[in-house]
Structure formats: structure tokens, C-alpha cells
Chains A and B, each alone.
Chain A
Amino acid sequence: MARVQLEHVTKRYEDVIAVDDMNLDIEDGEFVCLVGPSGCGKSTTMETIAGLTRPSDGNVYIGDRDVTNLAPKDRGVAMVFQNIALFPHMDVFDNVSFGLRLRKYDDEEIERRVEQAADIVQLEGMLERMPDEMSGGQRQRVAIARAIVRNPDVFLMDEPLANLDAKLRVHMRTELQRLHRELGTTIVYVTHDQAEAMTMSDRIAVLNAGKLQQIDPPLVCYNEPANLFVAGFIGSPSMNFVQGEVVDGGLETKNFDVELDHAAVPGAGTGDTATLGVRPEDIHLARKADAVTHPTSRIEVTTDVLEPMGDEIFVYLMLGEGAERTMEEDPMESPDQLLMSVTPDTDIREGETVDVVLDRSNVHLFDAANGNALVHGIVDLPGSEPGTTPTEAED
């Protein structure tokens, strides 16, 4: 087991900067997911830790060692990739023990380790099977066993479940969590699947354009995103964003106002442009908002498309002038549209005019200029009490 540190790591490919002055400190035994959109630098960061690519600047440490210039095989890391790279002509035992044989372990030790690893990933009785006789999930378990037998200080996993079907992916997620609990080994895990990152990680590192945006426990990234990028990236469907102007006593947006003592929000001055962020589940029908202890004033909206998902319904809401228009823009970016999620038993139809409120404890404000978060929740701020009671009977 070991701590993994990246110090000012930059990776340049000719004129492209894939990783830009990255500092990461992953604790011994921690499970950290690297997430971000395609091309954000997450795989390059992983390859830099693995030694598959050398940083243009900066240093990589594993445990107490500076491994920046060490070959992959000398770093004490074991890798599991998306493509399950089993040798098709070797049975499970030979596949799993390949690396041990090259490291000249004796037969007894090889057998002991392979059996132990097979036990951990539940492949007992399958050691003589050939890869083409196994399912995708079983093959991925063989690949993980191959990593386990090396007894690495760090597991590096690059989208290891991406090629599995949805059901198996969910199953393997719990398997990997169990594996981490049993072995306690540091795991660095690259994924574009938010559900994987949210459910498995101790901390999520969100990357964009080669830069680290935030590294925090999943719920902190979700509830207290450091900036607009993290706020928009973490959570599905994405957070709604509405641009507004800070005025005396509140934030004025194109279609609604939110009461606010801006003096209590660091970095927000009268006349500044700020972005309000609110997640779909923090928008409530006013008539059903009894449980919302800190609602905003009512906002009149017209419901547009309804998307029943089974466990919830996504409701596209049209505000102000937008109410007459069809959906053309991304609702997350339009000042005239919001996306709300409601429970499936909610009585709601398309084309209805209703009032909604936002849950002030989960309203976020961001500096519109640099995207950095100004405040998460506008409840305890002076002057933030709602102007309207949400419990009034509707209709």
C-alpha cells in the first residue's frame, strides 16, 4: 500500500497540453476516481502514474519513492484496462500467473497467490478455463486477479467496466468495493461514468482541460461544487444554471428574483453578474413544498415535456416569454427553461401553469466571470427569509 502524489505534473504533446500543472495527493489505501469529459487529461494522468508516459515537467511519487523516471514494472503498480487483455491461448491460471513467472517466483508461491486471488474475485474452479469459454464479467475478474497476484502498492484502473453490459457493471461495482475493503490497497480509477465515481470513491478528482477542478468526497463535489464546471459535470441530469444580476436585496434574473443579502456573499457586489445554480430535485411544486423549510418566492412556470423515468419524472419548465416557445435550447443553459424532477406519484400534466419554489438551502451562486462558487445554500444569510409561504393552497 502506498500514497500517490503528483507534484506540478505537466504533460505536453507537441503543442497540446494534456495535463496542466497537476497536484494530486492520494492517501494510502484511498479509492480515488478521476472523472471528466473526454480529453480532460484523466487517462494521461493515470498513464503518468503508471509510467506509460513521462511527464514533461513535475514529479510522481509512490510511497516514499520518486518514480518519475522508473519503468512501469518497477513502480509497484498493477493496471486493469477497459480492454480485457487476456492472452487467448492461455488458460486462466497461466493468464493470472504470467507476470509472476516473469518475476521468477517459485511454483509454490505462484500457486498460492493465484489461488488466493481466484478466491478474492470468485473464480475458484475456473482456473483451467480458456478465455473464450468465459463471460465478459468473468474475463474482467481474471484481469483483476492478474493485478491482485502482483500484490501491488497501487491499483490503476482505466475504465475497467466500460465494456460490460449495464447489469454486470453494477454488479462489478460492488465487487470492486468489496475488493478494496478486503485488500485496503490504494486504487486510482479512471471513469466517465458518474455513478461509478459517486458510489465507489472515497474522493472524486474532477478534471477539465488538463486541470484539476476539485478533489473531494463524492457528496461534497455534489453538494458543494467548487465551480460551474464541477456543478455542471457532477449530477445527472445536470444542475440548472440561470444568469442574474446582483441587486440590492437579491439576485435578479430574466424571469424571476431571489431574495438575498448580497453583502453576506463574499465576492458579490451590486451590479455584478452571478450564476444561480439549482439541481432538478431542488425545484418543487409550490403546492407540494411543505417539506421545504426554506423556499424562495413562487415562480410561475408552464410545464412542457414530461419524461417519466420510473422512480422520478423529469419535467421541463418554461419561464416567462419562453413559455410560448418550443424546446430548442439546452434547458440547462437557457434563462427561459428549467428542469425539475418530481416523484412519480405527482399529479402533473404537460401544458399546465403552476408555481414552483427553489429550495434555498440548495441554491448555489457562482461568480459568472471566473465560474468559481460564491456560496452553497442561501439560508443562513441575513435577509434571506422567504417572502411567500409555500403552504398556501394552490388553485
Chain B
Amino acid sequence: MTTPRTDIRTGIVGLGNIGRYHAERLRDLDVSLIGGMDVAAEARTRFARRYDVDVYDDHHELYDAVDAVIITTPNKYHEEYAVDAFDRDLNVLLEKPLAHSLESAERIASAATESDGYCMVGFNNRFANTVQIVNNRIEQGALGDVSHVEANYVRRRGIPGRGSWFTRRKIAGGGALIDLGVHAIDLALYLLDYPTVAEVNGVARGEFGSREEYAYLDMWGDDAGPAGFDVDDSASAFIRTADDRTISLEVAWATNRPENNEFVIRGTESAAMFDLLDGNLSVHSASKVGPDHLEDTSIETHQNDTHSEEQRAFFDAVATGKSSTASVEQALAVQRVIDAIYRSSDEGRTIEIGE
């Protein structure tokens, strides 16, 4: 049975920037936004004024009124709001990462599997047109056996508001690795069809955010200086799957290198290369048809709004009564990799997943 999207009563938990970003897109989807919840009065007032909906300081009251929630709170609070939503069999679109810690992520995943609600984790980059084109080509075998992914999500000077929850370990659970790495790791594993990860070796560094003289052009949010910064601002890691395929990962909020969000998917027949920042996509191969030659093909497509596509997929699944938690299990796999990279960095050794 399909429920029209307009009948899916939706609420947003966490009415900060990302909450409002989601709310804007809900309008285009014809989903009925019923209300919002935030512990901060200022955020509630602003949200109520703009969207003309009820706002609450207690999520239980919001949950009484809705069928679905989008949770966009700081990482540490994902568990409370998500688990309480699962408790009521609500459908949940949960912003990435799954949680601020592996233990919390495991509890969320376990609760999700018991609930009849549909849960999806906000890996919006999967919905980029370039990613979908590459994924189709992989599925059709055009790349041959995909054996290695170069996954980069590197900003040159892009630490989000120093002193905000993003830069505090207790609330975010980490820095650039958990914030940006979560996207890059998910995308790499997604394009490899989510193999079992065997081991990781990595280093997470805090080199820029803790400096008084941190130089930057723009900052998302306010800058409270180095006192509010106790997380990593870049990480490099090497990830090996149980079937010996590999991912090399580079993530940074800040590093001395031009920014890029480039992925190279290397297969035995060809490689695909795309950058999510500019939407460029190219395919590279070699051929013996005629004189030996190398072939580089540029592919053009629209740069779509990945958050809108993600919302559409979520609400379509809710409308058709789907109850899969596949993306939660995958988000848990990503969280295990992130946790292992942090441990590898702390302990100075390779970490086997599951040890």
C-alpha cells in the first residue's frame, strides 16, 4: 500500500543549520512538515517563524504528532532521539554519522533492527548523478573487477566553527575523520558493494585547529579560537577488505593542499574518476583495438541536489511501507572503520576490524 507523500507527517529534531537545510527541501517534496524540536529556544522561535509549524522542547511531544522524523542534532544526541523514535516505530532519516562513538552506533543499529519503522542514514553523496553513473557502470561490469578506490575529501582551510560542537570530541566523537571521512568511507564501500573490511591503518592529526594563528578565508560558524578545539583536522588511512581490495583515504578540514573531493575507482578494465565538488566525471582505459592506445572519456551530467534526492528516496520508501535497515547496518560498518582508524592512530599499529 502506498501512502501519498503529503500524508506523511514529518518532524525535524535539531533546528540548526542542517535542520533548516532539510526543512527547505521538504517544501519541494510535498511532504507535510508538522513541527520541530530543539532544546534551544532561539532555534525554535526562528524555525516556527519561518515554517509556521509547532515547535517543542521535548521530543516526545513531537513524536506524538508525526510518522517520520529527520534527526539533525549533534552526533552525541543521535542515540537518544533515534532510539526513542524507533521505540514508537517512527520512520527515521538520521543524519550521518550514525553516532559519536562505536558503542552508541551499535545500540542505535540494534534498536533500529527491532523497530518496524524505516531508517535511513544520511549518506547524501550516494545520490549524486556522477556516483550513480559510476555505480551503474560497475554493476554492468564496464570497469571489470574493481580493486582499489582512492577516496579524498580534503579542504584546505575549512574547519567548521572552532568551539562549536563539531570541534569538541565529547559531542562530535572526532573531527574531520568523523565529519567528512564518514562520507568518503561510505562512498568507497558503497562503490565496492559493501565488502567486509578486514583491517585499517591510519593516522588522525590535529595540526591547524589548535593554533592561535590559524589562517583562513571563510569559516562555517563562529571562530572561538583554539580553546574549543580538541579533535583531528586531517586523517590518512589505508583500508583493506577481506577479499584484498583496498581504499586509500585522505580527509581534511585543513591541510596545505588544494581542496578536492575526488574519487578514483580503479578496475581491471577501466577506471572512473569524479570530483563531487565540480561534478567532473571521466573514464580511463587502454585498448589494443587498432594501434595500442589510451582512452580518456569525459562524461557530462547535471549536478543534482543530493539532499533532495536523499529525502525523495527516504519518503518514497516510507510511502511504500519499506522497513529495511540496510543503510543503518552499512553506517555501522563505516563507524567501525572510523573507530579503527582512531584506534590505529592512537596505538600506532594496524587494527583488525572485530579484534
Instruction: Flag if A14 contacts B196 (CB, 8 Å).
Output: yes
* B-side interface residues, number (CB < 8 Å): 21
* A-side interface residues, number (CB < 8 Å): 18
Is there a chain A Cβ closer than 8 Å to B217's Cβ?
no
Contacts of A71 in B (CB 8 A): 113
From 197 to 249 in chain B, residues with beta carbon under 8 angstroms from any chain A beta carbon are 241-243
From 89 to 131 in chain B, residues with beta carbon under 8 angstroms from any chain A beta carbon are 89, 103, 106-107, 110-111, 113-116
Instruction: Flag if B79 contacts A101 (CB, 8 Å).
Output: no
Write out, one digit per residue, whether chain B residues 148-189 have a CB within 8 A of any chain A CB (1) or not (0): 000000000000000000000000000000000000000000
Write out, one digit per residue, whether chain A residues 76-117 have a CB within 8 A of any chain B CB (1) or not (0): 000000010111111000000011011000000000000000
Partner of A89, one of B80, B110, B116: B80
In the bound complex, CA of A161 to CA of B241 (Å): 31
Q: Please provide the 4 A-B residue pairs with the shortest distance between their CB atoms, ordered closest to farther.
A: A14-B243, A89-B80, A14-B242, A85-B107
Is there a chain A Cβ closer than 8 Å to B314's Cβ?
no
Instruction: Flag if A87 contacts B113 (CB, 8 Å).
Output: no
Contacts of B111 in A (CB 8 A): 87, 98
Instruction: Flag if B110 contacts A85 (CB, 8 Å).
Output: yes
Is there a chain B Cβ closer than 8 Å to A137's Cβ?
no
Q: A14-B242, A89-B80 are in contact. Are A102 and B89 (CB under 8 A)?
A: yes
Is there a chain B Cβ closer than 8 Å to A58's Cβ?
no
| Distance from B163 Cβ to chain A, minimum over Cβ atoms (Å) | 25
| Distance from B105 Cβ to chain A, minimum over Cβ atoms (Å) | 11
7 interchain pairs, CB-CB under 8 A: A71-B113, A73-B113, A83-B106, A87-B79, A88-B79, A98-B111, A99-B114
A-B contact count (CB 8 A): 44
Contacts of B242 in A (CB 8 A): 13-16
Q: Considering only CB atoms, which chain B residue lies closest to A87 in the complex?
A: B83
In the bound complex, CA of A14 to CA of B198 (Å): 11
Q: A73-B113, A88-B79, A102-B86 are in contact. Are A83 and B243 (CB under 8 A)?
A: no
In the bound complex, CA of A226 to CA of B110 (Å): 39
Q: Considering only CB atoms, which chain A residue lies closest to B195 in the complex?
A: A14
| Distance from A267 Cβ to chain B, minimum over Cβ atoms (Å) | 39
In the bound complex, CA of A98 to CA of B115 (Å): 10
Is there a chain B Cβ closer than 8 Å to A72's Cβ?
yes
Partner of B79, one of A16, A89, A98, A99: A89
| Distance from B198 Cβ to chain A, minimum over Cβ atoms (Å) | 9
Instruction: Flag if A102 contacts B107 (CB, 8 Å).
Output: no
| Distance from B52 Cβ to chain A, minimum over Cβ atoms (Å) | 31
From 16 to 49 in chain B, residues with beta carbon under 8 angstroms from any chain A beta carbon are none
Known: A14-B196, A73-B114, A102-B115. 14 other contacts (CB 8 A): A14-B241, A14-B242, A15-B242, A85-B103, A85-B106, A85-B107, A87-B80, A87-B107, A89-B83, A89-B84, A98-B83, A98-B114, A102-B89, A102-B116
| Distance from A226 Cβ to chain B, minimum over Cβ atoms (Å) | 29
Q: Give the secondary structure class of B's interface.
A: helix
Contacts of B195 in A (CB 8 A): 14
Contacts of B106 in A (CB 8 A): 83, 85
In the bound complex, CA of A15 to CA of B107 (Å): 30
From 6 to 60 in chain A, residues with beta carbon under 8 angstroms from any chain B beta carbon are 13-16
In the bound complex, CA of A245 to CA of B7 (Å): 82
From 61 to 101 in chain B, residues with beta carbon under 8 angstroms from any chain A beta carbon are 79-80, 83-84, 86-87, 89
In the bound complex, CA of A10 to CA of B80 (Å): 38
In the bound complex, CA of A83 to CA of B110 (Å): 12
Contacts of A88 in B (CB 8 A): 79
From 265 to 304 in chain B, residues with beta carbon under 8 angstroms from any chain A beta carbon are none
In the bound complex, CA of A71 to CA of B195 (Å): 21
Contacts of B114 in A (CB 8 A): 73, 98-99, 102
Contacts of A87 in B (CB 8 A): 79-80, 83, 107, 111
In the bound complex, CA of A101 to CA of B106 (Å): 20
Contacts of B87 in A (CB 8 A): 98, 101-102
Q: Considering only CB atoms, which chain A residue lies closest to B241 in the complex?
A: A14
In the bound complex, CA of A15 to CA of B241 (Å): 11
Q: Considering only CB atoms, which chain B residue lies closest to A16 in the complex?
A: B242
Write out, one digit per residue, whether chain A residues 372-388 have a CB within 8 A of any chain B CB (1) or not (0): 00000000000000000
In the bound complex, CA of A16 to CA of B196 (Å): 11
In the bound complex, CA of A100 to CA of B113 (Å): 14
| Distance from A250 Cβ to chain B, minimum over Cβ atoms (Å) | 46
Q: Considering only CB atoms, which chain A residue lies closest to B103 in the complex?
A: A83
Write out, one digit per residue, whether chain B residues 126-154 have a CB within 8 A of any chain A CB (1) or not (0): 00000000000000000000000000000
Instruction: Flag if B113 contacts A72 (CB, 8 Å).
Output: yes
In the bound complex, CA of A83 to CA of B339 (Å): 15
In the bound complex, CA of A86 to CA of B106 (Å): 11
Q: Considering only CB atoms, which chain A residue lies closest to B243 in the complex?
A: A14
| Distance from A36 Cβ to chain B, minimum over Cβ atoms (Å) | 16
Contacts of A72 in B (CB 8 A): 113
Contacts of B103 in A (CB 8 A): 83, 85
| Distance from A79 Cβ to chain B, minimum over Cβ atoms (Å) | 9
| Distance from A53 Cβ to chain B, minimum over Cβ atoms (Å) | 11
Contacts of A89 in B (CB 8 A): 79-80, 83-84
Q: A85-B103, A89-B79, A102-B89 are in contact. Are A13 and B113 (CB under 8 A)?
A: no
| Distance from B107 Cβ to chain A, minimum over Cβ atoms (Å) | 5
Instruction: Flag if B116 contacts A15 (CB, 8 Å).
Output: no
In the bound complex, CA of A69 to CA of B116 (Å): 18
In the bound complex, CA of A90 to CA of B83 (Å): 10
Residue in A86, A88, A102 whose Cβ sees the most chain B Cβ within 10 Å: A102
In the bound complex, CA of A279 to CA of B84 (Å): 55
Instruction: Flag if B107 contacts A13 (CB, 8 Å).
Output: no
Contacts of A86 in B (CB 8 A): 107
